[in-house]
Structure 1
Amino acid sequence: MDFVKKWEERWDEALKLWSDYVKLTPAKFLFSASEEKVEGLTGSFAAIRLLDHRVLLSVEQIQKYKLEDYPLEIMGHEIGHHVYCPGDLTDQAKLIYLAGLALPRLGHLTSTIVNVYEDLYINDHLKRYQHLRMEEVYQRIGKNKDRFWNFYMRTYELLWALPSETLTDGKVDDLIQSDASLVCRMIRNFPNDWQKGMFDFASICFPYFFDENGVGSSNIQNLSTILDTLDAGKGMTPPSGITDIEVESEIFSSEIGSLTKRELGPADFSSICKAMGIEADISDIVYRFYKDKALPHLVPFPELRTPGAKENILEGNELWDPGSPIEQINWIESTIRSPIVVPGYTTVEDLYGEVESMEVRTNPIDLDLFVDCSGSMPNPQTSLSYLTLAGAIISLSALRTGSSVRVTLWSGEKEYETTNGFIRNEKEILKVLTGYFGGGTCFPLDLLEEGYKEKPKRKRHILIISDDGIDTMFTQKFPRDPRSIAKNALEKAEGGGSMVLQLYNPKGNSIVNEMGKSGWEIYPISNWEDLIQFSKEFVQRNYVRNQILR
């Protein structure tokens, strides 16, 4: 245990390997297997944790591999994960996705391949620029006959001009030599843009985990000692900013096709989070996904703008009338006119005119959003739902202007979920939006009726996203007249009502035509993707122009 104190004393020196300005909490030393289990360090002698930007070190395993004399090599490597590659959770997520594209049927290995790929950049940097003894660390870990391990070690031999069999076990074959040469070029070509080489590296690694019969050939357990980023995201929330990712390849361009930018779906995002060790509910993952998808499209939401009260401006003085309040007398001006004050003769009061106020009061229009979630609609938790995305765009836009939002997800009779009234909590709003029923279709008239028994304090706009199933608003069996309920809601809301509908026959739907004549603005669309454009035009068409009300 004597080495621990010496390592602690060299922590600042390890930080300066990367920059004089790097500040991180000192490494945490774990002295027993139980401590390692609590902290999430399993298998490796070192690991990082992005949650609190911490480096974890196993005292027992460092002693097992006789690594006590390599504090800068090991601590400098772990610091490199925090400040260089990947640096943050978002970059880690992108690398995980790119590796997954190149590793079909090997999803359980994506985080492992990403880990060894990142290690190549960090170790090469420390060896070339800081002249650390990185190869000696691998020599202490020991050689291995595994083909992937030897390919990986041969790459280091080429990067650092080491003699053959310094790290490899025996002479490597031509395929390993060729693959190692390719990877060596990638590491040197993309030292500051490692995302460019991730797909190619994972594609090169892929065959090493299958033999000629398609059965796994490499033993992943051989790598466990050096894996230090497997659960880097543990305890963290899903990362933001990952809705599409550039896929680049210098070697396997034919495999990725002409499409270089891949748009992620909810299932992709969920897989990425799982691979990084993020233990989050599906609702939290889907919430983050749709919020990020919506952010680039946010637009100003409807609001009424009214001028403030007119402002008074001093124009001069006039004779004070004895019948006016005495506090209106301007005594200074009166005594200037005459040292002898005679009320009604020498006293004056200020004369004011009015000018238009430059202040404008905004009166946000609240949003009452009804989203169809019947069996004809996609499940937003497994595939991209443009209904959910459009709802997120419009709801988040509404929140930006101070509006409150009520979201109702509806399917069959008495089958709906709604927010607790009109709220401003974006997470609760998106939690409802990203839910799913997948049942029958029956518009929740009872909710519409209950919400508009009285005139609301602020204007509301009622927006409904659906398909031909919207006719259930008028055709369902209900104790009271459905048409009267819808008409009353429109009148009490005072902010208008819109229906954006994917219709089989827009012109021939008599119920929808009747709705249009009764005051609803009908916006037919041909496919769900059109909802994104609708969400932008919706505000521009109805509210952005002519906002000033006199």
Structure 2
Amino acid sequence: MSQRPPRIPPEDVAKSWRDALALWDVRVQLSPPEPHVAFAPDASHAQEPLAYIDLVKRQVFVNFKLLEAMEATGSLTAVLAHEIGHHARFPHTLGWDAELRVQEQRLVPGLRQSLTNLFYDLQVNEVVGRTHAEALCAVYRGFQRVQGGEMSALFFFYLAIYEELWGLTPGSLVPPAQLEPMERRFPGVRAEARMFAQTFYALPDGKLQFLYFCATFIRYIEKPADLEFSLPLGGDVSAPDVDDLDAAIHGSSRWDDAMEEAQEQGWLEPLSTRSKEKDALDTIHRVTEHLPGKGDGKLRRALVAKHYKRLVDPHILKLPSTPSQPEPYLRTTPQAWEYGDDPNSIDWTLTVLSQGHLAAVSPLRRELEADLPPPSEPGVPSVEIYLDTSGSMPDPEHSLNAMTLAAQVLSASALRKKATVRGIVYSAYRKPLVSPWMYDEETARDFLLSYIGGGTQFPFDVMEALSRERPDALRIIISDSDFLWNLSAEKDLTPVLESVRRSRLVVAVLALPDELRARKVLAPLLRERRFRLVLVRWPSDFAKAAADLAQALLEN
């Protein structure tokens, strides 16, 4: 559904664009504004953005229809200047925005909607408001008319700051009828808005500004988990990706000096009484919990995988000389493409090279088929890892799971020796998860983050079947005392013993405090020359034990 042409003449739009660029005195690679096309045909004006920049197309869009409904067409220059300010000055990078999102979740735990857009708007509007304050006021007044309903305490305080910043009478932007009720709910709100306007813009750097911003605004967020707000100039800041957030989560030490100064100023409580988040996995949970589109947990899973990789790397001493990740799919033999076939299967490069002028009328198609794993280095076996994910150990996405970390160390060690790896994640509550043979670390790392929970039942039948399918593989069991109970419950150990005899080696890495009991229960297996027992006294020793085992078994 296209939007009707704006009532603002094209020459006025062009002039507003030039004036907005002149305000920042910068050269930007952005196209002049175009009319916004509604994202949802049935959405109301207030549900659509007023203006934004599509960074892929480098195109500025303005919702002229909403601007007219807000009776703020005269504010077009200010709106465009606001958008250019986000692009040219605030935020500087997506990495910076990621750092702010990490810090706000530490300062305001459980925050449902990020405050970073509010923060950037305060920075941008201070500059734009030096010459276009009244135009910005028209936008905020018009937004209230279109939005309707009672103003939240958060938005009230936000607009009260602009009243103080621009020397306006109280009630010029906020509803006059809410002045007294808001003062009763939040005593001193006007004085705090005045203090904020005097302090925020005088702070020397963005880190201190953001800490002061969070420490002040938290008072007006009654239920962080329920917070949901919209802004007339909101939605114009791009969200950071997984690499930006990962770097921010693991680089938070850069904020230590700013944190100390914020505590000295009295904005934040001292570290001794304020909870300081030290667990990166919990930080990942906080940062991703409120993000849109997190339903399937892909962003969290990717961040968790990067965290475990950091923990794995120090335990692996030897890297391959020429690390590579093989292409998981290969092209099949070309065939003639016919009407009704999938257009995505057309290989246009091959078609043009072989068909010449007939390429458009006689394309060739090639399907994709899975590539076979590359062979292991001479002497390096295929490795099967049986990972216990019962309830005795935590979900690795929320707390550090020592057994999962050990499995990741073994997997990465084998893959860096050009071995192939298969994972079997088991518990007692459902059928074990069995991966295909894997030959790149990212795939293996993601699979080994799987978790079932509940009780423990080792899949002896699965190991017996897989030992027939791939004899002479190295099989490693990672568990605790539950493995002893499972083995004791087996009435016939013949299939288990046959699995061991077919394997190159079966190693049980178990967290056990009682070695004598373990050797008594495992006596039938320990008599087999292809079975080994590795005892781990403390969960924190799992990763080192896995690294030592990998070096002993996989190093030539």
Instruction: Give the TM bin, normalised by the shorter chain.
Output: 0.5 to 0.7
Does the alignment pair 1:42 with 2:37? no
Q: Matches of 2:31 and 2:442 in 1, distance apart? A: 32
Contact 1:302-1:539 at 8 Å conserved across structures: no
The alpha-carbon deviation at position 236 of structure 1 amounts to 9.1
Rate the CA distance shift 1:75–1:233 in 2: closer, same or farther, 3 A.
same
The alpha-carbon deviation at position 90 of structure 1 amounts to 5.2
Query: Which of 378, 390, 396 is the equivalent residue of 1:380?
Result: 396
Q: Matches of 1:460 and 1:303 in 2, distance apart? A: 22
Matches for 1:335-484 after TM superposition, within 5 Å: 365-412=381-428, 415-420=431-436, 422-424=437-439, 428-453=443-468, 460-471=473-484, 474-477=487-490, 481-484=494-497
Q: Matches of 1:365 and 1:53 in 2, distance apart? A: 52
Q: Matches of 2:515 and 2:18 in 1, distance apart? A: 70
Counterpart of 1:395 in 2: which secondary structure? helix
Contact 2:281-2:398 at 8 Å conserved across structures: yes
Matches for 1:477-492 after TM superposition, within 5 Å: 477=490, 481-491=494-504
The alpha-carbon deviation at position 408 of structure 1 amounts to 0.7
The alpha-carbon deviation at position 443 of structure 1 amounts to 1.6
CA displacement, residues 55-84 of structure 1 (integer Å, 9 cap, x when unaligned): 553222112234434445323433444554
Q: Matches of 2:319 and 2:502 in 1, distance apart? A: 19
Instruction: Look up the match of 1:123.
Output: 125
Q: Matches of 1:368 and 1:412 in 2, distance apart? A: 19
Q: Matches of 2:478 and 2:56 in 1, distance apart? A: 39
Counterpart of 2:123 in 1: which secondary structure? helix
Query: Which of 178, 188, 207 is the equivalent residue of 2:192?
Result: 178
Q: Matches of 1:374 and 1:182 in 2, distance apart? A: 51
Counterpart of 1:189 in 2: which secondary structure? coil
Q: Matches of 1:56 and 1:86 in 2, distance apart? A: 19
Matches for 1:4-153 after TM superposition, within 5 Å: 5=10, 6-7=12-13, 22-24=28-30, 29-32=35-38, 34-35=40-41, 37=43, 42=47, 44-47=49-52, 56-82=61-87, 84-86=89-91, 91-103=96-108, 107-108=111-112, 110-111=113-114, 113-126=115-128, 132-134=131-133, 136-142=135-141, 148-153=154-159
Contact 1:370-1:465 at 8 Å conserved across structures: yes
Contact 2:99-2:245 at 8 Å conserved across structures: no
Q: How high is the TM-score relative to the length of structure 2?
A: 0.67
Counterpart of 1:509 in 2: which secondary structure? helix
Instruction: Look up the match of 1:202.
Output: 214
Question: Where does the alignment leave 5 or more consecutive residues of structure 2 unmatched?
Answer: 1-5, 145-150, 322-376
Does the alignment pair 1:509 with 2:521? no
Counterpart amino acid of 2:126?
Answer: D
The alpha-carbon deviation at position 31 of structure 1 amounts to 4.7
Contact 2:507-2:531 at 8 Å conserved across structures: yes
User: Percent identity, aligned pairs only?
Assistant: 18
Q: Matches of 2:203 and 2:537 in 1, distance apart? A: 47
Q: Matches of 1:523 and 1:21 in 2, distance apart? A: 65
Does the alignment pair 1:254 with 2:265? no
Rate the CA distance shift 1:505–1:200 in 2: closer, same or farther, 3 A.
farther
Rate the CA distance shift 1:304–1:140 in 2: closer, same or farther, 3 A.
closer
The alpha-carbon deviation at position 183 of structure 1 amounts to 6.1
The alpha-carbon deviation at position 509 of structure 1 amounts to 2.0
Q: Matches of 1:27 and 1:296 in 2, distance apart? A: 44
Rate the CA distance shift 1:294–1:21 in 2: closer, same or farther, 3 A.
farther
| Structure 1 range deviating more: 361-370 or 14-23 | 14-23
Q: Matches of 1:298 and 1:484 in 2, distance apart? A: 32
CA displacement, residues 113-165 of structure 1 (integer Å, 9 cap, x when unaligned): 332122112323555xxx552553124422988654453234345556x3554
More helix by share: 2
Instruction: Look up the match of 2:542.
Output: 531
Counterpart of 1:203 in 2: which secondary structure? helix
The alpha-carbon deviation at position 368 of structure 1 amounts to 1.6
The alpha-carbon deviation at position 511 of structure 1 amounts to 4.7
Does the alignment pair 1:3 with 2:11? no
The alpha-carbon deviation at position 502 of structure 1 amounts to 1.9
Contact 1:81-1:122 at 8 Å conserved across structures: yes
Question: Where does the alignment leave 5 or more consecutive residues of structure 1 unmatched?
Answer: 306-360
Instruction: Look up the match of 1:227.
Output: 234
The alpha-carbon deviation at position 281 of structure 1 amounts to 0.9
Contact 1:287-1:431 at 8 Å conserved across structures: yes
CA displacement, residues 296-328 of structure 1 (integer Å, 9 cap, x when unaligned): 2344488999xxxxxxxxxxxxxxxxxxxxxxx
Q: Over aligned residue pairs, what C-alpha RMSD do you find?
A: 4.6
Contact 1:392-1:430 at 8 Å conserved across structures: yes
Counterpart amino acid of 2:457?
Answer: C
Q: Matches of 1:256 and 1:43 in 2, distance apart? A: 42
Counterpart of 2:428 in 1: which secondary structure? coil
More strand by share: 1
Query: Which of 239, 259, 265 is the equivalent residue of 2:281?
Result: 265
Counterpart amino acid of 2:190?
Answer: I
The alpha-carbon deviation at position 432 of structure 1 amounts to 3.3
Contact 2:414-2:420 at 8 Å conserved across structures: yes
Counterpart of 2:454 in 1: which secondary structure? coil
The alpha-carbon deviation at position 288 of structure 1 amounts to 0.5
The alpha-carbon deviation at position 91 of structure 1 amounts to 4.4
Rate the CA distance shift 1:237–1:186 in 2: closer, same or farther, 3 A.
same
Counterpart amino acid of 2:431?
Answer: E
Q: Matches of 1:399 and 1:487 in 2, distance apart? A: 23
Instruction: Look up the match of 1:338.
Output: none
Q: How high is the TM-score relative to the length of structure 1?
A: 0.68
Rate the CA distance shift 1:441–1:179 in 2: closer, same or farther, 3 A.
same
Counterpart of 1:201 in 2: which secondary structure? helix
The alpha-carbon deviation at position 291 of structure 1 amounts to 1.4
